[in-house]
Structure 1
Amino acid sequence: MSLKKFSFSAEKHQKSIRIDKFLRQYIQNVSRNKIQKAVYSGKILVNQRIIKKKNYKIKPFDFIEAEIYSYSTPIVVVDSEYRNIIAERIPLNIIHEDEDILVINKPAGMVVHPGFGNEKGTLIHGVKYHLKNNKELYRLGLVHRIDKDTSGLLVLAKNEQAQKCLFQQFISKTIKRKYIALVWGNLQKEKGTITGFIGRDPKNRKRMTVLKKDFDRGKYSITHYKVLERFKYLTYVSCNLETGKKHQIRAHFKYLGHPLFNDFTYGGNKIIMKKNISRKHIEILKKCLNILKQQALHAISISFIHPSNRKCHFTCPIPKDWKKLIQECREKFLY
């Protein structure tokens, strides 16, 4: 028996179970008593933080590191989810590719990962076809996602080592992501920070919301924004994420009373404050809503440390419909 180091990444469908039960599934011939001793001695970390309670419950995408006395090696976790996905020949706008990573400019309307109602035609189906000769691809290469109707940059890992490297940067919040957005109304400040605990909206399960109570049901979130241009009824902003929660930017600006332009889920697909807008301008705004068919949110840049330890920074241009929309706003609504 010797002290051995183990590491595991919880899958996205991981059920909430105690850490001792989780580790017993994947390490042979280890007792719960040994795991609990490892907890008390600070030998088990989750997302680079020491676990102090033996009843800690594992969550999806948790990264677990453990030093435990064991006779054997860990059981290999097979990525059955990846094997069951059928590769599809889908055009991908690849910004960069090397032996470790893939950076893709995802179009609006494309789902990142297959799920209920989206069993085919996702970005991952296309990635599997593109990397059909890659035998190392681990857990589909995903380290983060962007919403179906959000366009822009997504980085994927092509092997397990690269994925762990990128995943740890997301955990430690050293990956920098910049978005641009068009929101309804005139933001009071030139720049600011939106914070709050984001959780599922009890009135609409498809939405997230900034919780006003029961904070334990949410996850703390931080968005920094800066005004780029002001139009008569809209504000063009850039956003830097300090955290990356589901629908974070969309929920944050809804919370401020400035939902994203044409965001159906958060009420931005309707003209705000219609009573104070002339009939002529209402018709122009309706035209603008028809130019952009989804919420006005685009992941324009991403910066991180490459698995080879060099700094990387990638940008992508705004889509054509975005350019047309901004030009229309400049011509008709510029102050």
Structure 2
Amino acid sequence: MSYYEPLVYIVPPEEDGFVLKTILQKRLMVSRKLLSRLKLTEQGITVNGVRQYISIKVNAGDRVEVRMEEEQSEDILPQDLPLHIIHEDEHLLIVAKDAGIIVHPTHGHYVNTIANAVVYHWQQAGITCRFRPVHRLDQETSGVLAIAKNPYVHQQISEQMIQHKVKKEYLAFVWGVLNEPSGTINGPIDRDPEQPHVRIVTPGGYSAVTHYEVVEQFAYAALVRIWLETGRTHQIRVHMKYLGHPLIGDKVYTLPAFEGSKAAAEAAERLDRQALHAFRLGFVHPGTREWAEYNAPLPVDLAALQAWLQGN
């Protein structure tokens, strides 16, 4: 049986006599679910190289190690596809996703995804990992995507997301002139009862909070920086439409005032997707325990859109 590199914790003097379970949950931040899984593994949890029950008490200087079995995504076909790697280490793979590509294979769409490209990349590098994206990006949204290399890393970043400690920043090109240079949209989101695949702002929906700041105001559009407190499906697109400034190129969340305009027609000739880019992702790195940020520059199509808007 093969394992990933272990998580290691040396018990400090002030924790002499602590229960091992406490060390695992409070210091290594292992979730209950993962802890249950580790207990079934032969060398999942050891103290000074010896497998132990989590109910034992540890001594100062003890070496606590957590090992997870190596995994691989056997149901994902490896494909030699373009993969823009921003960062990779033994814990994480950070890539810049192109617009138009989906993250994970779905029913009827088994190839040409980020997952296929990542599995191929790992196969060529001799890395055995299961594909575990820690968040989602819409098919037509470009930008930073983080992929965990083991269940522990996935759990750690997911927990940060639940606690709203992950920084997710976007750049979006929206229609209209914004009256305020910055603001907050606090509008509950839920499914549209008449179109279940579409989301709307509705009083009975789930809490959703979006912050925005105008980066550059053009004659009839704007470039805005957006950051989220919550992560509802289509949140940015729904909220910007609700504000009266839908995303350029968004065919679902738009408004009649912008649909038939000359500017919209000219923009459509330059952009065949919604003008949304996830340009920054930040969190506490599960391996180093330090804050880390990853950036993806504005892609070619949106940079071209910006230049066109600046000239009009």
TM-score (norm 1): 0.69
2:296 pairs with 1:316: yes
1:302 is aligned to 2:272: no
Evaluate the alpha carbon distance shift between residue 120 and residue 273 of structure 1 in structure 2; reply closer, same or farther with a 3 A threshold.
closer
Q: 3-state DSSP class of the match of 2:265? A: helix
Measure how far apart 1:285 and its partner are.
4.2
Q: Is contact 1:261-1:296 (8 Å) kept?
A: yes
Q: TM-score, normalised by structure 2?
A: 0.74
> Structure 1 CA distance, aligned partners of 2:246 and 2:69?
42
Checking the alignment, whether the CA contact within 8 Å between 2:78 and 2:116 is kept in structure 1 is yes
RMSD: 2.9
1:200 positional shift: 1.2
2:74 is paired with a residue whose SS is: helix
Identify which of 207, 210, 234 aligns with 2:198.
Answer: 207
Q: What's the counterpart of residue 16 of structure 1? A: none
Query: Which residue identity lines up with residue 32 of structure 2 in the other structure?
Result: S
Partner of 2:310: 330
Instruction: Give the fraction of aligned pairs with identical amino acids, expressed as a percent.
Output: 36
Is 1:272 matched up with 2:258?
A: yes
Letter in 2 for 1:259: P
Q: Which amino acid aligns with 1:86?
A: L
- Per-residue CA deviation, residues 34-53 of structure 1 (Å, 9 max, x unaligned), is xxxxxxxxxxxxxxxxxxxx
Partner AA of 2:210 in structure 1:
T
Tell me by how many angstroms 1:205 deviates: 2.3
Shift of 1:197: 1.7
Contact 2:258 2:264 survives alignment (8 Å) = no
Residue 209 (structure 2) pairs with residue 229 (structure 1): no
CA distance in 2, matches of 1:256, 1:208: 14
In structure 2, relative to structure 1, the CA distance for the partners of 1:305 and 1:78 (3 Å cut) is closer
CA distance in 1, matches of 2:310, 2:77: 45
Question: 2: distance between equivalents of 1:247 and 1:201?
Answer: 12
- Which residue type is aligned with residue 258 of structure 2? I
User: In the superposition, relative to structure 1, how do residues 164 and 204 fare at CA in structure 2: closer, same or farther (>3 Å)?
Assistant: same
Q: CA deviation at 1:109?
A: 0.1
Q: Does 1:7 align with 2:32?
A: yes
Aligned residues: 257
The answer to whether residue 270 in structure 2 is matched with residue 291 in structure 1 is: yes
Runs of 4+ that moved beyond 3 A: 3-6, 76-80
**Separation of aligned partners in 1, 2:136 and 2:166:** 13
Select 2:127's aligned residue among 126, 134, 146. Answer: 134
**Deviation for aligned residue 1:199:** 1.1
List runs of 5+ in structure 2 lacking aligned partners.
Answer: 1-19, 26-30, 41-53, 56-67
Amino acid at match of 2:127: N
Question: Are residue 148 (structure 1) and residue 135 (structure 2) matched?
Answer: no
Sort the Cα spacing of 1:291 and 1:162 in 2 relative to 1 into closer, same or farther, 3 A: same
Determine the C-alpha separation between the residues in 2 that align with 1:187 and 1:202: 30
Segments of 5+ residues of structure 1 without an aligned counterpart are: 10-22, 29-66, 69-75
